Structure 1
Amino acid sequence: MAPPAKKQDTTSRARLSAVIKSARDIMRKDAGLNGDLDRLPLLSWLLFLRSFDALEAEREVFGEDPIIKPEYQWRAWADDETFTGAELLAFVNGKLLPELASMRSDVPGDPRNVLGQVFAGVQNRMLSGYLFRDLVNQIRSIDFNSSDDIHTMAFLYEDLLKQMRDAAGDSGEFYTPRPVIRFMVEQTFLKLGESIMDPACGTGGFLVEAYTELFPQATSKVLQQQLFNNIRGIEKKPLPFLLCMMNLTLHGIPSPKVLHANSLRVMIDEKGPGSQVDVILTNPPFGGEEEDSIAKSFPSGYQTRETAWLFLHAVIKKLKQGGRCAIVLPNGALFGEGIGAKIRKQLLEDCDLHTVVRLPQGVFAPYTQIPANLLFFDKTVPTKETWFYEITPPEGSRGYAKTRPMRYEEFESCAAWWGGPDRADRIENDRAWRVPIADLLASGFNLDLTNPNTTDDLSHRSPTDLLAELIETEQEVLSLLTSLQKDVEDR
């Protein structure tokens, strides 16, 4: 039976890839859309409405009332092929989108609140009602009642998100490479029934990976609903929030528990054990400055505008006693004096910082060359010792770039060394070393520690190697500029 299923998946993927390509070709013709940063949000909310209409049809089968008023449901206007041109645009811009954005409910979990959040900042930038009709007709061909179409569409949508990340430039701060996400989720050893949160969820990479990891264990409707409720996120920016909601919906979560809000404000304002979670997986924004009102809402002595430090402090408070966290932090958050040192001290005293994985430079290229680290800690007992593990580029490679990204296989040696949920039988080697808490305290809580087993620095490298690396870097820059030029010409 396996070969026919594989053939069916291949056919479905090829068909849906053609649909998406046609949709993007249509959008390229419209003067109101300027690149993928305009096209993908439009495609996302149309896909959202198409998939939501499938849920509405399912509700009708069970005799439940519709969420969206009949005249605004997808089938009422999208399936009427004579409804086009200026009349269609006037309806979408003047009636449909305002109606969806105004939806609210006082009932927790009501899909109206999801719709209201998703469409609060949505605008239709297409200028041609005839091209808009052509686009809608393409999306109508996707069958959201078919599990094959839903599964394949989710896969293709992730590919679209990656392409958007490549087009986002400076906006790429909310994307994390898939291998990094997968490794962090796997080494957190998630359990069904735990509340899992990403307070800077971007397009939902961590949440989708966590959901995918746990869904096979949810063997009943009750367990599935529990899992839906336990996957939670917060996202400040409207564009990634919209993409996240679509991403989670396509992966099977009918009413994603994602807030469109400033997560630092939410985490500081929410108090008490009921607001805490079991697991946090996140890559918070770093290198930026938070607004004064947010910084001043933090306790005295912890008030700073550096987002990485604010997030670390808030995450510690957000975890339940016994909870776990995996977080991406830049090198700059691991050393220095002042408030940063105070927050690191809090981390070591309130939590067991058991592992720091040091990533090589370029993992987040081309969006930033700032080296990053993965911190894993449990909110259980104070830290007694911290293990450091250095990930190095593959042999023969000097780093990473857009055309040469990090692969999941490069985490395999670290995963094998990890020692399972209990981190048993860890040993020091050329990549792993252990630092007792006394040494960390003596260093002023400095976590920016280099591998004591390596001597690979510039002084040990030949001029030939250094020149070759410089030439390679310049070639990568030229390649990126050429790609950018092509994107501009294609618009």
Structure 2
Amino acid sequence: MTTTNDIVAKLWGLCNVLRDDGVTYNEYVTELTYLLFLKMLEETGRENRLPDNYRWGTLAKREGLEQLEYYKRMLLDLGKPEVKDVLVRAIFTDAQTRLRKPTNLKALTSNIDQLDWFSAREEGLGNLYEGLLEKNASDKKSGAGQYFTPRPLIDSIVRLMQPQPGEVVQDPAAGTAGFLVAADRYIKDHSDDLYKLPEAQAFFQRHNAFVGAELVPDTHRLCMMNLLLHGIEGGVDNIDTLSPDGETLTKADLILTNPPFGTKKGGGRPTRSDFSVTADTSNKQLAFVEHIVRALKPGGRAAVVVPDNVLFEDNTGRRLRTWLMDLCNLHTILRLPTGIFYAQGVKTNVLFFRRGTTDKANTSAVWVYDMRANMPAFGKTRPLTVADFTEFEAAYGSDPNGGAERSEYSEEGRWRRFSREVITARNDNLDIAWLRDTEAEAEEALTEPEDIAAAIIGHLKAALEEIEALSEELEPDTITIPEAAE
């Protein structure tokens, strides 16, 4: 992917051109998405998706203020309801440029035109765009890490869950579609790019297999672009999963997701009519777990990234865990290392479970793999890699539903089984650790100022999360507001 990496570096370098225009990193990636979408339609011979008067060639040849005004009209018109192509409308709805200087737009269009598009097509335009998203997420200044789950983690989860052709795969907090794209790639790798599938099934994979939701409009734009460049036509809606819109998402055979952490702004509660366990909490991660359980078909499976408080929080948290272990077989918990989710600033885990065909006693035991204790100090100088998950994947086994034969290596090992009775005795607290936590020692080994600062911010955010959770539990159910005097 040498050419792809070179192009990503060149595209990212162009952001320096825009600093004088006051364009932020995230705005820059959104701006690039508009321009790359138009250029890539030209490169792939699919400009018939656009109105005749709005094409890349027409934009690129213009100069000065005329080019900037034409570009502004183009963004406005491509998002209008009369545009027939649904995906074009989704990418350009409410689109507006942050560019103010005509010279900056000309610099972008000229540099994009000069890139090695032949090699980029050979290596895959989707890989190019994903590389750009990864670059944005890894840059601390962009703040986009919250929308980007580390690729080694995504790929490990997908390998374990083994998505199959014909299955509906859902991500109710899709971000830039990392999980959905990885699931699609896994299926294509195992079906000769879908050529081994009957045409009807190949059509299903391109148009109906992947569904989800993304709340943030600009992130949804990036998501739709990423899906398009990987041969997936839409499927992710710009909606709030915790609102009634979330009830309309297609029931899934497999759910892969890293939901947002924290509480809903203003202390708002979910407004779903089908929620019962988390209906009265503003804790988003708890509410997303309820959605996932309800969105799975009987026998469906899920892998979901959650912060530690989902494992130990009392009251609503405990009721949710008890309910989850009744309705599902929660067979595996992976305790993730620190330093891989600095944007969120909390310790995280992956829950692996399968929806039962009955609603009682589906969990008989939970296996826990501790990938957190005695691990390197992950950060800029020591990024997470595919190899870091090798031992966990071997312990997990070949059955995506956790049914492979498993054995504990030793009491001092990272892999242990806890019966449902033991968990009940712990008041269904699943925050289980038995190895000496050397997190403090690992953090002392951090050398990059960005990593040290991020670790400090992480501790502060985790403390705030605990305070918010405690405050919510102490908060009265109803608050009477006196009527204003006339």
Q: Structure 1: how far apart are the matches of 2:453 and 2:303?
A: 35
In structure 2, C-alpha distance between the alignment counterparts of 1:169 and 1:22, rounded to whole Å: 14
Q: CA deviation at 1:321?
A: 0.9
Preserved CA contact (<8 Å) 2:261 2:344: no
- 1:433-465 C-alpha deviation (Å, 9 max, x unpaired): 1111122223222111113xx3x247xx9xxxx
Aligned residues: 436
- CA deviation vs aligned residue, 1:237-283 (integer Å, no higher than 9, x gap): 12221222222222233x22121111222564328xxx311110000
Structure 1 unmatched runs, 5+ = 1-8, 60-65, 483-491
| Aligned counterpart, 1:380 | 356
Partners of 2:333 and 2:366 within 8 A in 1: yes
Aligned in 2, Cα 1:123/1:231: closer, same or farther, shift over 3 Å?
same
Tell me the amino acid that sits aligned with residue 16 of structure 1. Answer: I
What TM-score comes out, normalization by structure 1 length? 0.80
Q: 1:417 to 1:135 in 2, by over 3 A?
A: same
Q: Report how far residue 27 of structure 1 moved.
A: 3.5
Corresponding residue to 1:309 among 277, 286, 303: 286
Aligned residues of 2:268 and 2:282 also touching (Cα < 8 A): no
* Matched residue, 2:398: 420
User: 1: CA distance between counterparts of 2:185 and 2:271?
Assistant: 38
Q: Secondary structure at the match of 2:445?
A: helix
1:349 maps to which residue? 326
1:379-412 Cα shifts (integer Å, max 9, x gaps)? 125111111111147x7x5421233222221111
> Which structure 2 segments of 5+ residues have no match?
455-486
Pair 1:190–1:17, CA change in 2 (3 A)? closer
Confirm or deny that 1:163 pairs with 2:135: yes
Q: In the alignment, what sits opposite 2:51?
A: 69
Within the candidate set 58, 78, 103, 1:100 is matched to: 78
Specify whether residues 240 and 58 from structure 1 end up closer, same or farther in structure 2 by C-alpha distance, changes over 3 A only.
closer
Q: CA deviation at 1:164?
A: 1.3
SS in 2 for 1:182: helix
- Please give the secondary structure, in 1, of the residue aligned with 2:243: helix
The answer to whether the 8 Å contact 1:290/1:307 transfers is: no
Aligned twin of 1:63: none
**How far is 1:13 from its partner?**
3.8
For each residue in 1:125-182, what CA deviation from the matched residue of structure 2 results, as whole angstroms up to 9, or x when unmatched? 11122331231133234576x5852634433332322221124565432221111111
Distance 1:186 1:457, change over 3 A: closer
- 2:438 aligned with 1:449, yes or no? no
Which residue pairs with 1:257 in the alignment?
A: 235
The answer to whether the 8 A contact 1:47-1:246 is kept is no
Distance 1:359 1:295 in 2: 28
* Structure 2 residue matching 1:137: 3-state secondary structure: helix
RMSD: 2.9
Residues 1:18 and 1:326: Cα distance change in structure 2 (over 3 Å): closer
| SS of match in other structure, 1:71 | coil
* TM-score, structure 2 as length reference: 0.81
Matches within 5 A, 1:92-491: 92-93=71-72, 95-103=73-81, 112-141=85-114, 148-149=120-121, 151-165=123-137, 166-168=139-141, 170-216=143-189, 217=191, 218-219=194-195, 221-228=199-206, 229-253=208-232, 255-265=233-243, 268-270=246-248, 275-289=250-264, 294-298=269-273, 299-303=275-279, 304-364=281-341, 366-380=342-356, 382-392=362-372, 398-421=376-399, 423-429=403-409, 430-451=413-434, 454=435, 456-457=436-437, 471-473=444-446, 475-477=447-449
The structure-2 alpha-carbon separation of the partners of 1:470 and 1:164, relative to structure 1 and needing over 3 Å to count, comes to: closer
| C-alpha separation in 1, matches of 2:443 and 2:52 | 62
CA shift, 1:207, in A, is 1.1
Contact residue 103 and residue 115 of structure 1 kept, 8 A: no
Q: 1:469 to 1:319 in 2, by over 3 A?
A: closer
8 Å CA contact 2:377, 2:442 repeated in 1: no
Q: Does the 8 A contact of 1:143 with 1:150 survive in 2?
A: no
Q: In the TM superposition, what whole-angstrom CA distance separates every residue of 1:198-256 from its partner, at most 9, and x where no partner exists?
A: 11111111111111111131115543322122122211112221222222222233x22
Deviations 1:22-63 (A, max 9, x none): 6445445xx3243422221111111112223455x458xxxx
Question: Structure 1 counterpart of 2:59, which letter?
Answer: A
Q: How has the CA–CA distance of structure 1 residues 472 and 84 changed in structure 2, closer, same or farther, with 3 Å as cutoff?
A: same
Could you tell me whether the CA contact under 8 Å between 2:129 and 2:226 is conserved in 1?
yes
Distance change (3 Å), C-alpha of 1:104 and 1:300 = farther
SS of residue paired to 1:280:
strand
Distance 2:278 2:311 in 1: 16
Matched, 1:78 2:51: no
Change (3 A) 1:118 1:363: same
The correspondence for 2:67, drawn from 85, 88, 92, is 88
What is the rounded CA distance, in whole Å, between the counterparts of 2:444 and 2:9 in structure 1? Answer: 39
